[in-house]
């Protein structure tokens, strides 16, 4: 029995060059050299990508999910570890959670510090991920993330610090999200940031660019402006679903405020509030629902989880 290790790049695989920039250049064998403990699981490596996760497209994330599925198709595979950059870790981790329903563990890990840093956290994170992936699994929790000495649930994951080694948190109270295996590589969902007094210029630009769905990065508990609400009406009239999340790190969204641009007004215009998901994961869930051809009722049920 083996654990599959799928590498995609990220800080954990990065070293600083002579120009001062850090880039992901280390292969899986390099990462394992500093992380595999004596008596640890046998590891089968898949060097899939070598990218900073900030540049990953939905097509790249789908490719990672496909690679995980290929490894799980082998009955000798105990579990899968995905090495990933932290900028988009929450997005890819959620896609894996939506697309795979396997009792064997899928564990995502990475690092906040580069591999050549004197206090690099990558080796410890990778050791922890391999240990979890070689265990009995956690089907009730779905895909997991091993970072900073903690094992977190992928659904509801959010990055809360740019540099702390335990810079991720998950979201208590989030229900199990639906199984959505439809491919997302042909779907475009844009994030549209809302600021106080803002208009709908960026929302309309995303519609003009052919977005299949929009996620508003709203204010407070899911609020915007009257101009943005008007833009939401235009989007919904064109059959483009709009989901409202928030720039606030914690707390539940609610459709309580009016005044022309509050959450109550957004809901009346046809937008769906993401009860607990923050913008990055709301985007992935919406893309998956669009890819699956979900109707309005299914979309609302998913974001109410």
* Residues catalogued as catalytic: 11
Of the candidates 198, 268, 280, 257, the residue with the CA atom closest to the CA atom of residue 232: 268
Show the 3-state SS of the chain. CEEEEEEEECHHHEEECCCCCEEECCCHHHHHHCCCCCCCCCEEEEEEEEECHHHCCHHHHHHHHHHHHHHHCCCCEEEEEEECCCCCHHHHHHHHHHHCCCCCCEEEECCCCCCCCCCCCHHHHHHHHHHHHCCCCCCCCCCEEEECCEEEECCCCEECCCCCCCCEECCCCCCCCCCCCCCCCCCCEEEEECCCCCCCHHHHHHHHCCCCEEEEEEECCCECCHHHHHHHHHHHHCCCCEEEEECCCCCCCCCCCCCCCCHHHHHHCCCEECCCCCHHHHHHHHHHHHHCCCCHHHHHHHHCC
For residue 291, count other CB atoms closer than 10 A to its CB: 22
């Amino acid at each position: 029995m083996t654990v599959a290790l799928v590498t995609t790049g990220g800080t954990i695989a990065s070293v600083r060059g002579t120009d001062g920039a850090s880039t992901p250049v280390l292969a899986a064998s390099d990462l394992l050299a500093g992380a595999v403990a004596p008596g640890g699981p046998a590891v089968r490596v898949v060097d899939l990508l070598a990218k900073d996760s900030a540049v990953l497209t939905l097509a790249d994330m789908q490719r990672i999910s496909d690679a995980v599925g290929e490894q799980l198709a082998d009955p000798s595979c105990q579990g899968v570890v995905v090495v990933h950059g932290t900028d988009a870790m929450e997005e890819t981790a959620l896609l894996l959670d939506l697309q795979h329903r396997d009792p064997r563990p899928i564990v995502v890990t990475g690092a906040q510090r580069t591999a050549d840093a004197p206090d690099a956290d990558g080796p410890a994170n990778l050791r922890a991920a391999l240990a979890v992936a070689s265990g009995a699994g956690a089907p009730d929790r779905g895909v997991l993330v091993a970072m900073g000495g903690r094992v977190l649930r992928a659904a509801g994951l959010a990055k809360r610090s740019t540099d702390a080694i335990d810079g991720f948190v998950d979201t208590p109270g989030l229900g199990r999200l639906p199984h959505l295996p439809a491919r997302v590589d042909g779907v475009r969902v844009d994030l549209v940031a809302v600021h106080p007094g803002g208009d709908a210029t960026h929302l309309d630009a995303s519609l003009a660019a052919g977005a299949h769905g929009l996620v508003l990065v709203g204010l407070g508990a899911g609020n915007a402006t009257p101009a943005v609400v008007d833009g939401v009406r235009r989007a919904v009239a064109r059959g483009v679903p709009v989901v409202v999340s928030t720039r606030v790190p914690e707390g539940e969204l609610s459709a309580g405020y009016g005044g022309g641009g509050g959450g109550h007004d957004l809901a009346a215009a046809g937008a769906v509030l993401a009860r607990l998901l923050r913008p990055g994961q709301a985007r992935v869930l919406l893309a998956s629902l669009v890819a699956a051809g979900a109707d309005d009722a299914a979309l609302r049920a998913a974001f109410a989880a």
